[in-house]
Amino acid sequence: MHLPIQSDDLQAQIDSFPYWYHRIELPGGHVTPGWAPMAPEAYNVPQDLTGKRVLDVGAWDGFWSFEAMKRGAAEVVAIDDFSDFLGSLGNEDRKAWENFDFCREALGYPESQCQRIEMSVYEVNPERLGEFDIVFCFGVLYHLRYPLLALDMLSSVCKDEIYIETAVCDDFSPYQGGFGKGYPGAQPVMEFYPNNEYGNNNTNWWAPSLSCLGLMTMSAGWMDVEVWKLTENPQALPHCRGFARGKKAA
């Protein structure tokens, strides 16, 4: 079992990484200088995950992997393929699993209980990973060329609940005039961005409406589905996010 990093120089180690996506609280009052998640309470993840097996898709630095551990998860599997560079990061800025491994060691979580695997969401299957009680899919769906296929793959390993966070087009459309020119209400539409139309990031492929997100989740096998927005009237693109919670039928 790994013990937490015991070092008076922990902050220097944090500062040595060129880029942090997640803001993660580490021992001794240290916090990594990331900006995400902006409002973790809005994700509506249960405070008690005691005994749950959790899959964290697109884990990046590992905020939600470690949060699941804090909330009592029996096991967490984090996956990422490091395909998103936010439209601006260089290869030298993303250190693959180095950020994750550093935080896991600092927090004292054993690899056997909090493991990470470099793989695409399209490679997820029960033969390789087994089954999970809960799946997190945060900041991933809109980066995927085949989002429905990805949801089908995640459904194949999920016994109970999925939590999804993604860009949505209810309040913003680059094609229709920007903010306040999206698809509000119950319009089940999804915009396609073949280049860098959304956020100047050529890995941003899609933004569904909130209604569409809910229906996509249902189509992949979660029948009890709720959807909500991060911000009711967003004025900045990072706030144009929607959530879905899906629960498998008993």
**205 and 192 in contact (C-beta within 8 Å)?**
yes
Return the percentage of the chain with pLDDT > 70, whole number: 95
Assigned domain for 195 exists: yes
Domain count, the chain: 1
Assigned domain for 138 exists: yes
**Contacts for 145 with CB less than 8 Å, ≥ 6 apart:** 205
Which CATH number is 137's domain given?
A: 3.40.50.150
Confidence of residue 185 (pLDDT cuts 50, 70, 90): confident
Out of 4-8, 139-143, 229-233, least confident range: 4-8
Question: With 90 as the cut, is the pLDDT of residue 37 above it?
Answer: yes
pLDDT score for 3: 47
Assigned domain for 189 exists: yes
69, burial (CB in 10 Å: exposed 0-12, middle 13-18, buried 19+): buried
Predicted model pTM: 0.94
Mind listing the pLDDT tens digit for each residue in 192-227?
999 999 999 999 999 999 999 999 999 999 999 999
Range of the domain at 243: 10-247
Assigned domain for 2 exists: no
State the sign of the Cα–Cα–Cα–Cα dihedral 40, 41, 45, 47: positive
Assigned domain for 4 exists: no
Question: With 80 as the cut, is the pLDDT of residue 237 above it?
Answer: yes
Assigned domain for 169 exists: yes
Assigned domain for 15 exists: yes
